[in-house]
Amino acid sequence: MKTLPGFRDFYPEDCARRNYILSTWREVARRHGFVEYDGPVLESIELYQKKSGGELVGQLFNFSDKGDRQVTLRPEMTPTLARMVAARARDFRKPLKWFCVPQFFRYEKPQRGRGREFYQFNADLIGEASDAADAELIALVIDVLKEFGFTAKDFVVRLSSRTAWQKFFAAAGGEAAREDDFFQIVDKIERMPPEKTGEALGALGVPELTADRVLAFLRGGEPGELAPVLENLQARGMGDYVEIDYAIVRGLAYYTGVVFEVFDRSKNERALAGGGRYDRLLALMSDGKVDLPALGFGMGDIVLENLIDDVPAARERRDAWMAQQRACDVYLVVAKAELRLDAVALAQSLRDAGLRVDFPLVDTKVGKQFQAAEQLGAEVAVVVGDEWPQVKVKTLATREEVTVANRGLADWWRTRQKGV
Amino acid sequence: MKTLPGFRDFYPEDCARRNYILSTWREVARRHGFVEYDGPVLESIELYQKKSGGELVGQLFNFSDKGDRQVTLRPEMTPTLARMVAARARDFRKPLKWFCVPQFFRYEKPQRGRGREFYQFNADLIGEASDAADAELIALVIDVLKEFGFTAKDFVVRLSSRTAWQKFFAAAGGEAAREDDFFQIVDKIERMPPEKTGEALGALGVPELTADRVLAFLRGGEPGELAPVLENLQARGMGDYVEIDYAIVRGLAYYTGVVFEVFDRSKNERALAGGGRYDRLLALMSDGKVDLPALGFGMGDIVLENLIDDVPAARERRDAWMAQQRACDVYLVVAKAELRLDAVALAQSLRDAGLRVDFPLVDTKVGKQFQAAEQLGAEVAVVVGDEWPQVKVKTLATREEVTVANRGLADWWRTRQKGV
């Protein structure tokens, strides 16, 4: 019996590493005024067909349920978000600043950095067309990665604008109807031999649109309309984290304005996050019922975790968090069997006071009990023995020992924690 | 476009209510020395056939994936836990005290208190046969419910013993091979007309086993071998939360010793949690590779949330938690448009200091900005205006106002929080 290919078991250590990522996402999102929402793990397949025109359907975990509904495990959040916002758009003050940390499912070939399930931090800002919203969203991406312990040496946000490309295309004489085809070419231009690019551009029927001109624009890197976004991020002290890069256009058809991708700065250039504006998607998804400008991004957990493993400062920060989450504040060493029920009562009173407490369930040699205390990462071992109703309290890291009344133990702990 | 029947959207308020339950489960489990684990949402269907002999298969969200694997959304955790423990039993100190807060999926008729998805707190204690382990697990159930604000007036743990029933059955002359059939009868006895019970018992071919005798044992309520568990719980001050009730046998075939169910005390008698010992299951699931005594319980979120809604003390505790989780510590009121970028910089510096900060993305009337601050539940509004580089800080609840240097604002906040 094994896990399915591309799926993960989370043993306690793995689960703590996962929870570190999820809780860091949540904490930074809240600092930025984003509130959490979630949707169902299972959705009607139509929801995705509507948005993508079927792009993703080949990668879905889809099936027919026992009521003959065509359903699928969710591969992404935007359609769910659009459905939810469309249903209750009037109930919320604009702009909406919403985030979630869902698990997604895609039937792809598992490989390093990619499983068939993964968690993804999603944040969306809905109802504000100003570029101040773009800056506010990008600041969140940057701040989340900073919180993990990464610096401008570790990652970069590559910023681009579909609007800039649209203007370029229109100025060259391109028809709006062929825009998407043009974006597909730009998206692949750096991975394609120049003659192939030339051919593909030729098929658009716009004589002025040569590969050289497209590449010149791509490499020009003028801020243009991205200047206010850059200025805003600079005001936040985040200028070092951003670069203009017109090679970024994002593959999906629904992006409309600013788009961006975040890469790690090592030679691996792994993509950590991506997003942008999708001002027309809500109207499309709601058949025109709700028409709000919007933008958002996604950041997966798998590449992120690999990068944390690779960057010492990030690894140390995670290790410190995980040590804090240790299973145990106090381990009770039951040194006299006849005091067992007293020890149980003491354990409960400490738990009632909010402490993390463990103790041996059955009679065990005292040496083994101290071993258990160490292995569980307990901060202190409390010996319930000859001194009862007093107890000996041993700080495991320093070997310091004090004797206190068992009823005063919770107070002693609180005073000590304040002093630390 | 709607959610599938039996599935839930979690708008921000719903999501906070869900998170309150999940985080309370986690917090109390950790206090009791349990550590979190998780498994995949999707598993091979065989995993469940092995355990239940197919009982649950009619209720599964199962399908054939794109690699022709027979897979299913998980309906419960025990098979996953057994698989994980069996694979790495030697890596962990015994007893294992593990918990998780997974979402489960069952294709049942949606009704009040039951959806097609739900979250369930699962805690298991593996590798300890002593009844001290039973008490330790039941103490966790009780403590979790106490933490939600419930008292002995709101819920009760009904405690029973399969061993006691086994002895009773054997003493009457029953064959071990018919034990499961006997448990099925006891499980339904209080919902079945007496003559039906008589018929069913008759079919077991044990003349001494009359309905009267079975009911007499059931209603006798002698602690018997449950005495040490009761004594242990009484030492913890939890005696009022437990009752012996031999009507509880749990439907599933794999339980072996102490079993229990938790009910609310109102006339609705809703089941809040249930569990017990399953000492032979790990060996069965691992084909004998790992043979460890074990026990565990599950507590779902839906009935629990209904009960929180019904009990004022529990509702107040949740509301207090939710107010603490408010989206915003500080709302920046931008009173002069030319100070916008200064305000953005200030927002970022406060976020860097760990505060939850929001501000209007575009120029807005000052009155509307104060309205937004109130609606977002901000604790203070900070006016960036004529006093710059000082700012006016207004505590929204009390209308108190002070003026501080913008660079000193984070320190001011910290000092103030310590004083509260």
Number of CB pairs, chain A paired with chain B, less than 8 A apart: 234
CA of residue B25 relative to chain centroid, distance: 5
Number of residues assigned to chain A: 420
Contact at CB, B10 and A93, closer than 8 angstroms? no
Q: What is the pLDDT of residue A235?
A: 97
- The CATH class for the domain spanning A327-419 reads alpha beta
Please state the rounded mean pLDDT for residues A287-294: 92
Band of pLDDT at residue B54, cut at 50, 70 and 90: low
Q: Which member of A1, A35, A107 has the closest CB to residue B12?
A: A35
Contact at CB, A47 and B1, closer than 8 angstroms? yes
Sequence-distant (≥ 6) Cβ neighbours of residue A258 within 8 angstroms = A131, A134, A159, A160, A161, A162, A163, A226, A229, A276, A277, A295
Please state the rounded mean pLDDT for residues B326-341: 93
Q: Which member of A1, A35, A143 has the closest CB to residue B351?
A: A143
Q: What is the pLDDT of residue A268?
A: 82
Contact at CB, B33 and A132, closer than 8 angstroms? no
Quote the mean pLDDT of chain A: 93
pLDDT at B57 > cutoff 80: no
Residue B61 C-alpha, separation from nearest chain A C-alpha, in angstroms:
7
Could you tell me which chain A residue has the CA closest to the CA of B126? A361
B-chain CB neighbours of A9 within 8 Å are 38-40, 80, 84
For β-strands A70-73 and A103-105, DSSP reports them as unpaired
Q: Which member of A69, A361, A376 has the closest CB to residue B4?
A: A69
Q: Which member of B31, B93, B357 has the closest CB to residue A31?
A: B357
Tokens of B360: 């209007």
Residue A61 C-alpha, separation from nearest chain B C-alpha, in angstroms:
7
| A22 vs B256, higher pLDDT | A22
Number of residues assigned to chain B: 420
Q: Which member of B8, B9, B66 has the closest CB to residue A107?
A: B66
Band of pLDDT at residue B106, cut at 50, 70 and 90: very high
Contact at CB, A117 and B41, closer than 8 angstroms? yes
The interface pTM score, or ipTM, of the predicted complex is 0.95
pLDDT at A6 > cutoff 90: yes
Contact at CB, B33 and A65, closer than 8 angstroms? no
Q: pLDDT tens, A258-272?
A: 999 999 998 888 899
A-chain CB neighbours of B31 within 8 Å are 351, 354-357
Q: What is the pLDDT of residue B261?
A: 96
For β-strands B271-277 and B294-300, DSSP reports them as antiparallel
Distance CA B237, CA B241 (A): 9
Q: How distant, in Å, are the alpha carbons of A50, A53, B116, B295 from that of A83? A: 11, 16, 20, 42
Residue B287 C-alpha, separation from nearest chain A C-alpha, in angstroms:
10
Give buried/exposed letters for A377-413 (b at 16+ CB in 10 A, else e): bbbbbbbbbeebebbbbbeeeeeeeeebebeebbebb
| B171 vs B53, higher pLDDT | B171
pLDDT at B191 > cutoff 90: no
Contact at CB, A35 and B327, closer than 8 angstroms? yes
| B84 vs A285, higher pLDDT | B84
Contact at CB, A65 and B66, closer than 8 angstroms? no
Could you tell me which chain B residue has the CA closest to the CA of A118? B40
Note every long-range contact of A231-235, with CB atoms under 8 Å and residues 24 or more positions apart, other chains counting.
A231/B341, A232/A131, A232/A132, A232/A135, A232/A136, A232/A139, A232/B341, A232/B344, A233/A135, A233/A138, A233/A139, A233/A142, A235/B341, A235/B342, A235/B344, A235/B345, A235/B348
Band of pLDDT at residue B306, cut at 50, 70 and 90: very high
Q: Is B310 in contact with B113 (CB distance < 8 Å)? A: no
A-chain CB neighbours of B69 within 8 Å are 4
Q: Is B255 in contact with B57 (CB distance < 8 Å)? A: no
Tokens of B141: 């159930």
Contact at CB, A361 and B136, closer than 8 angstroms? yes
Q: What is the pLDDT of residue A253?
A: 73
Q: What is the pLDDT of residue A322?
A: 93
The residue type at B167: K
Note every long-range contact of A88-96, with CB atoms under 8 Å and residues 24 or more positions apart, other chains counting.
A88/B11, A89/A290, A89/A292, A93/B372, A93/B375, A93/B376, A94/A126, A94/A127, A94/A128, A94/A292, A95/A125, A95/A126, A95/A127, A95/A128, A95/A133, A95/B361, A96/A124, A96/A125, A96/A126, A96/A127
pTM: 0.96
Q: Which member of A33, A71, A327 has the closest CB to residue B328?
A: A33
Tokens of A189: 């231009």
pLDDT at A129 > cutoff 70: yes
Q: What is the pLDDT of residue A1?
A: 78
| Angle at B273 (CA atoms; ends B310, B95), nearest 5 degrees | 140
Q: Which member of B4, B40, B103 has the closest CB to residue A4?
A: B40
Q: Which member of B35, B231, B361 has the closest CB to residue A133?
A: B361
Topology of the domain comprising B328-419:
Rossmann fold (3.40.50)
Mutate which: B108, B230, B348, vs A, most A CBs within 10 A: B348
pLDDT at B76 > cutoff 90: yes
Q: What is the pLDDT of residue A51?
A: 67
Residue B409 C-alpha, separation from nearest chain A C-alpha, in angstroms:
16
Band of pLDDT at residue A314, cut at 50, 70 and 90: very high
Q: Is A301 in contact with A18 (CB distance < 8 Å)? A: yes
Contact at CB, A40 and B3, closer than 8 angstroms? yes
Residue B206 C-alpha, separation from nearest chain A C-alpha, in angstroms:
39
Sheet holding A70-73, edge to edge: A42-44, A70-73, A62-64
Please state the rounded mean pLDDT for residues A80-104: 95
Q: What is the pLDDT of residue B133?
A: 98
Residue B216 C-alpha, separation from nearest chain A C-alpha, in angstroms:
33
Phi-psi region of B68 (alpha: psi -120 to 50; beta: other; left: phi over 0): left
- Which uninterrupted H or E stretch holds B405? strand B401-405
Contact at CB, B15 and A37, closer than 8 angstroms? yes
Sequence-distant (≥ 6) Cβ neighbours of residue A318 within 8 angstroms = A17, A20, A148, A149, A308
List chain A domain ranges.
Answer: 12-39+77-321, 327-419
What phi, psi does B207 have (nearest 5°)?
-55, -35
B-chain CB neighbours of A36 within 8 Å are 12, 15-16, 19
Please state the rounded mean pLDDT for residues A245-259: 87
Sequence-distant (≥ 6) Cβ neighbours of residue B302 within 8 angstroms = B113, B114, B115, B118
The residue type at B123: A
Q: What is the pLDDT of residue B55?
A: 61
Residue B268 C-alpha, separation from nearest chain A C-alpha, in angstroms:
29
Q: Which member of A9, A47, A356 has the closest CB to residue B30?
A: A356
State the DSSP code for B286: T
Q: What is the pLDDT of residue B268?
A: 82
What would the CATH number be for the domain defined by A12-39+77-321? 3.30.930.10
Q: What is the pLDDT of residue B266?
A: 87
Tokens of A160: 């681009």
Q: What's the per-residue H, E or C state across chain A?
A: CCCCCCCCCECHHHHHHHHHHHHHHHHHHHHCCCEECECCCEEECHHHHHHHCCCCHHHCCEEECCCCCEEEECCCCHHHHHHHHHHHHHHCCCCEEEEECCEEECCCCCECCECCEEEEEEEEEECCCCHHHHHHHHHHHHHHHHHCCCCCCCEEEEEEEHHHHHHHHHHCCCCHHHHHHHHHHHHHHHHCCHHHHHHHHHCCCCCCCCHHHHHHHHHHCCCHHHHHHHHHHHHCCCHHHEEECCCCCCCCCCCCCEEEEEEECCCCCCEEEEEEECCCHHHHHCCCCCCCCEEEEEEEHHHHHHHHHHCHHHHHHHHHHHHHCCCCCEEEEECCHHHHHHHHHHHHHHHHCCCCEECCCCCCCHHHHHHHHHHCCCCEEEEECCCCCEEEEEECCCCCEEEEEHHHHHHHHHHHHHHC
Q: How distant, in Å, are the alpha carbons of A168, A197, A209, A220, B137 from that of A216? A: 11, 14, 11, 6, 68
A-chain CB neighbours of B12 within 8 Å are 35-37, 98
Could you tell me which chain B residue has the CA closest to the CA of A11? B37
Contact at CB, A342 and B235, closer than 8 angstroms? yes
Contact at CB, B361 and A95, closer than 8 angstroms? yes
Question: Where are any strands of DSSP class E within B101-203?
Answer: 103-105, 117-126, 155-161
Mutate which: A236, A290, A350, vs B, most B CBs within 10 A: A236
